[in-house]
Structure 1
Amino acid sequence: MYKTYTGLGRTEEAVLKKLSEEYDLPYALGTTEDESIGIDGYLGDQAVSVKPISYKQKQRLREDIQAPIVYYEEYSTSDALKIHVAELDDALD
C-alpha cells in the first residue's frame, strides 16, 4: 500500500488516515499517555503503533508495545510511503 503524505503533517497521522480509508474504520490519534506506551492511534477500537521500517532492524530498541505495529518506508525520490500491514491484518481478522 502506498500513500502520498505531503502536507498532512505527522507521518503517523498520514498512515492512520490511509489505513482508515483502506479498512473503512474511523481513526483517532493517540493521547500523550497512549504515545508513552507506544500507541500512535486507533483504527476503530484497535490500538496501532506506527514505526519506520528501520525500527524492525533495531532489536535492542524494541519496546513492549501491546498493539500491532504498522511499518512504513519513506522514499527519498518522492513524497510516498510504503506501508506494511501484516501485524494489523492479523489483529483485525
Structure 2
Amino acid sequence: MVNDLYISKDERRRIAVGQDLEYPRYTTKIINLACHTAQATNRGSVGSLDEILEEFEAENPDATFEDWVDYYYQKYNGEVKVHRAAKKTYDMVENMRDAIDLITDEMVEQWVEDLILYKSYMGFDAREVIIPKLGRELQVTSRLAGPEEMAEGVSGYLGDQPICLRSTKHDKGPAMYEDLEAPVLYYEETDSGGYRVDMKELSRTLDEFTSV
C-alpha cells in the first residue's frame, strides 16, 4: 500500500464542485494578474471570505458547494459582488491589452537587463547609496571604506567619523564597535525598492559631524 495519496487540482475541483473549467493557454495568468492589480477580490470588494466561510461552516456543517453559493449570494449580496469583481478585473484586462501593444523588443531588452543586472546588484549597493546620501543630508564630506577598513567593521566615513551599516535582515550585534567608536546604522529595503535607515545610533554624534 502506498504511503501518500495525491489529488490533482483539477480532480479536487471535480470532487468538490462537480465541474471542470478549461481556459485557453496563458489566459488565466493574465486574468489572475489583472484581478490582483485591480484588487478586485480584496476584502473591501467581496468581504472577508475566510471569516464568512468559517461562519457558513459553523452554521452548516454538512453543506455542499451549492449551499455555500446560496449562502454567500443571499446573506452577503454575493452575486452583485462577484459581478462587480469580474467587471473590475475585465477593465484591467483591457488596460493590459492596450499596454501590450506598447511593448517593443527594445523595451523587453531593457527590462530584462534591469532585472538581471541592476536588481541583482541592489543587494550590494547599500554603501554606495546610503553613505553619500548621509553626507549630503548632514552637509559633511563622505567616503566609502577601503578593504582594510571594511575588515575592521567600518562601512564608510562621514567627515572623520567611521560608521557601520548593517541590514536588518542580519542578526543585530553590538550597537557600537568599541575600538572604532563607530555607530551602527541599520537599514532595510522598503516596499518601493528604496532604503529606510535607522538614525538612532548616529544622532548622538550629529553635532560632531556637522562641525567637521
Normalised TM-score (structure 1): 0.75
Give the distance between the partners of 2:150 and 2:163, measured in 1 at CA: 10
1:85 aligns with 2:199: yes
**Which structure's CA Rg is the greater one?**
2
Query: 5+ residue gaps in structure 1?
Result: 1-5
Give me the identity figure in percent: 29
Normalised TM-score (structure 2): 0.35
Give the distance between the partners of 1:92 and 1:78, measured in 2 at CA: 28
In structure 1, give the amino acid aligned to 2:128.
Answer: E
Residue 127 of structure 2 aligns to a residue whose secondary structure is: helix
Q: Which has the higher contact order (CA 8 A, sep 6+)?
A: 1
TM-aligned CA deviation for residue 91 of structure 1: 2.4
TM-aligned CA deviation for residue 71 of structure 1: 1.0
Give the distance between the partners of 1:17 and 1:28, measured in 2 at CA: 7
Q: Which residue of 1 aligns with 2:143?
A: 28
Select the residue among 166, 184, 200 that pairs with 1:69: 184
Select the residue among 167, 174, 181 that pairs with 1:52: 167
1:12 aligns with 2:12: no
Which has a greater percent of strand? 1
TM-aligned CA deviation for residue 24 of structure 1: 0.4
Which has a greater percent of helix? 2
In structure 2, give the amino acid aligned to 1:33.
Answer: E
Describe the superposition over 1:33-72 as per-residue Cα deviations: whole angstroms up to 9, x where unpaired.
11001101000011010111233xx25xx37723101111
Give the distance between the partners of 1:15 and 1:71, measured in 2 at CA: 11
Give the distance between the partners of 2:167 and 2:188, measured in 1 at CA: 6
Q: Which residue of 2 aligns with 1:3?
A: none
In structure 2, give the amino acid aligned to 1:91.
Answer: T
Query: 5+ residue gaps in structure 2?
Result: 1-118, 208-212
Give the distance between the partners of 1:39 and 1:80, measured in 2 at CA: 22
